[in-house]
Amino acid sequence: MIWYKSTSVPEFLKDSLFNQPKSCFYNEFLNERSHVLNLDMDNRTESLFQQEERSRVDILARTSDDFQLELVKQLDDKDAHAIMELSGCSGEDPDKTARFNATSVRKYFHYPKTFPILARHQNIPVGYIVGIALESLNKESWVKCDQHWGGGDTVYIHSFFIHPKYKRLNYPRILISLFISWLASNGFRYISGHQPENQLDLLFPAYEKIKLFPNWQNNGEDVWYFRKKIK
């Protein structure tokens, strides 16, 4: 069973994807979590979000096995640390700029300037996707390769990650599809981003290639700037 709020339901999510038994690997994930990042050089606890004791969220979807998708309107310290740890789990990912630190997690989980969605299982963050209005990236040299720049109808996917132990349950597609549905219900018509070609068909079917960027951000990987119509 899955419960939705304020978004249309993609057709493929109406099947039995969510009728999964509680994950046998969940406790393994908890046991493998690294130590909480120390953000203070003098061994003092310093709050990233002084005004919030708990994250403020809108729940977009919830499943019977306690998997939940949330629109994050304000982060608390605990979730901020968890997101930073998650972003460091992608050891095989050459894009080190995708990893959050104490400054960038506050910058990009900053609704309504950004659109951050957090995936949580049994109250533990296990993934996220963050979108940014394309016009907010006007200082980036690549942004004007998109003819929709300036139209106010496109959201750029800045970061996207699901803990590897959840990928086999198809949660990456679920997270992206719910994010797209939420954007469409709020008036956006396109998403865009940079992805390796071998990921596009899997994660963003019916996409349009715009421009190839060799050696993206000097990470040794070639990526396509793509656009996908969502409405």
Query: Which CATH number does the domain housing residue 18 bear?
Result: 3.40.630.30
Q: What is the residue-wise DSSP string for 12-29?
A: GGGSGGG-PPPPTTHHHH
Distance CA 169, CA 166 (A): 6
Going by C-beta distance under 8 Å and a sequence separation of 6 or more, which residues neighbour residue 229? 189, 190, 206, 208
Choose the weakest-confidence range: 46-60, 125-139, 141-155, 159-173.
Answer: 46-60
Establish if 41 belongs to a structural domain.
no
Residues 177, 199 contacting (CB under 8 angstroms): no
Across the range 148-167, mean pLDDT stands at 92
Establish if 40 belongs to a structural domain.
no
**Largest pairwise CA distance in the chain:** 52
Which CA distances in Å does 1 have to 17, 65, 77? 10, 9, 31
Establish if 225 belongs to a structural domain.
yes
Across the range 180-205, mean pLDDT stands at 93
pLDDT tens digit sequence for 63-101: 888 889 999 999 999 999 999 999 888 655 544 556 899
Establish if 43 belongs to a structural domain.
no
Q: How many CA atoms lie within 13 A of 10 on its CB side?
A: 20
Q: What is the residue-wise DSSP string for 117-134?
A: EEEEETTEEEEEEEEEEG
pTM reported for the whole predicted model: 0.75
Establish if 39 belongs to a structural domain.
no
Average pLDDT, the chain: 78
Q: What percent of the chain has pLDDT over 90?
A: 55
The pLDDT of residue 7 is above 60? no
The pLDDT of residue 132 is above 90? yes
Q: What is the DSSP letter of 36?
A: P
Establish if 79 belongs to a structural domain.
yes
Please name which of 67, 49, 68, 50 lies closest in space to residue 59, comparing C-alpha atoms: 68
Establish if 72 belongs to a structural domain.
yes
Establish if 207 belongs to a structural domain.
yes
State which residues form the domain around 57: 2-33+48-229
The pLDDT of residue 43 is above 70? no
Q: In this structure, what token pair is assigned to residue 44?
A: 């003092």
What's the domain count of the chain? Answer: 1
